[in-house]
A and B are shown apart, each in its own frame.
Chain A
Amino acid sequence: MPSDPHAMPLILSRVSAAFADEADGVLALKDVSFSVPAGSFTSIIGPSGAGKSTLMRVILGLMPHESGTVVRNFSRSAMVFQNYALFPWLTALENVAFGLRMQGAGRTERERAAREKLKEVGLERFESHYPAALSGGQRQRVGLARALAVSPDLLIMDEPFSNLDTITAEALKADLLRIWRAYGMTILMVNHLIPDAIELSDQIIVMGAHPGHIENIVSIDLPRPRDTRSPKFFMQIDALTEVVRSIS
């Protein structure tokens, strides 16, 4: 791995964090250290209680951490949520334009950009729909478009596929890989499926629970686009499953 910090949009060094709602100092994260190379795809897997969501919130500066250092060398981050977290009172287009609007972009400018992003995720015909009128897969696409609209160089995704059926998730995954190649941003994704993590990632961070800590960091060097049916792919799944099994 390169050691130039500018090539590392995100570096965590011995980061510990408490649960937001517990005063008695129960740690959600303990001594978490890793770095994310620019333009790479990093997945985080681990059981519930491993503090994955807390980790995302610490990285985004949404909650303070107790000790350790978080070096943020990215200029703009955005997030895609497991539950979509779309604003129900806004149409798909207005949801996508939300970030630009907050930055003070004018109506024409932000709507043009938002239309472009909606088109990129295949939802150009749904711009005036409210989230309630969209399917889960469509909502997540709006969520992705909303994140892309602010041109993030770090995209954080918290289990973006886990509320979707397999077919929808596969289609969205393919689109995500296409978008990632086109934009070249750094992606940090909480994942719950080992094959997904291997298909998508350059590095996989395996976390353990109580308190959340890093068990292992696995590099995936398979060539892209990845053949998910090759023997090498299955061997990676095997190896990672073994790592995961050893911690539970």
Chain B
Amino acid sequence: MIHSVAHPQTRALHRAHVKRRRRTWFIMTGVVGAALFLWASGYFGDVIWPALGDAILRTTYRLLVAYGIALLLGVSIALLVGWSPLADLFFPLFDILQNIPSFALFPFFIYFFGSTDWMIILFAVSSIIWPILFAVLTAIKSAHKDLSDAATIFGARGVKRVYRYLAPLSFPAMLTGSVVGIAIGWEAVIGSEIISNISGFGTFIKGVDISGVSPSAIAGALGILVIVFVINRLVWAPLLTESAKRYAE
């Protein structure tokens, strides 16, 4: 958009972003180059690629489903609570809930859902949901009173208030909450795969020789790195850019 780039502040922001993006690509090119070099030199000869691919796909699938559910649930709950006058009552409750270490509840998830895909997904949901829920709720609660008053005065009342005011207001928070949530989600999914032996990336790295850094372990780490990079570049970076442009004060 011409007008936003023409604005000096936005232009500086844009430049910084492009610079950062270049640096990320630079690092990524280095990583891929090193990986190709290792591969060409036969370092990865013993790696069972189909097993690794399968493991990463399973783990990524669980993570994405869990993230989808957590996003829907977390944002809905935060919007509802933020919309109601009871928000202040719910805050301490959520605070206690999110402070329980997720893995402490792992036995209950196994007990209720068995050793299934859904057990891992729901367990991951219970970790991912908190950063999203808190980010959105905090954004709603910390919005300038004038902005909230303006929404009321100009008619954003009732249900309309949720999707015409609260939802767009908390969009940047939803983004940052998601970035943190997904990072936690990887750990939750991989961790629960390791504990429950349900096959995925967790069982893959458990299966390889974890006492040393084996070619399989390195291949696995590279695989995850590529996925994380792709999600960041394709999803978060454009959304964060758009959000920074629109929500800049």
Contacts and interface: CB of A to CB of B under 8 A. Distances in A.
Q: Do A and B bind each other?
A: yes
Interface of A: 57, 60, 62, 77-79, 81-83, 85-90, 98-99, 101-103, 128-130, 132-133, 146, 150
Given A79-B150, A85-B150, A102-B164, A130 B155 contact: no
B171 A62 contact: no
Nearest to A60: B153
5 contacts: A81-B146, A88-B249, A89-B246, A98-B156, A150-B154
B149 A99 contact: no
A133 B154 contact: no
B175 to A, nearest CB: 12
Given A88-B248, A101-B164, A102-B164, A129 B3 contact: yes
Contacts of A130: 4, 245-246, 248
A87 B155 contact: no
Contacts of A62: 149, 152-153
* A interface majority secondary structure: loop
Kindly state the interface size class of chain B when it binds its partner. 20 to 34
Contacts, number: 73
Contact of B146 (A60, A85, A90): A85
Contacts of A86: 150
Q: Is the interface of B mostly helix, strand, loop or mixed?
A: helix
Interface string B205-249: 000000000000000000000000000000000000000011111
A113 to B, nearest CB: 13
Contacts of B157: 102
Contact of B149 (A79, A129, A133): A79
A62 B248 CA distance: 27
Contacts of B150: 79, 81, 85-87
A87 B164 CA distance: 10
B7 A88 contact: no
B35 interface: no
Contacts of B245: 130, 132
Contacts of A150: 154-155
Contacts of A89: 168-169, 171, 246-247
Given A57-B149, A87-B147, A133-B10, A99 B155 contact: yes
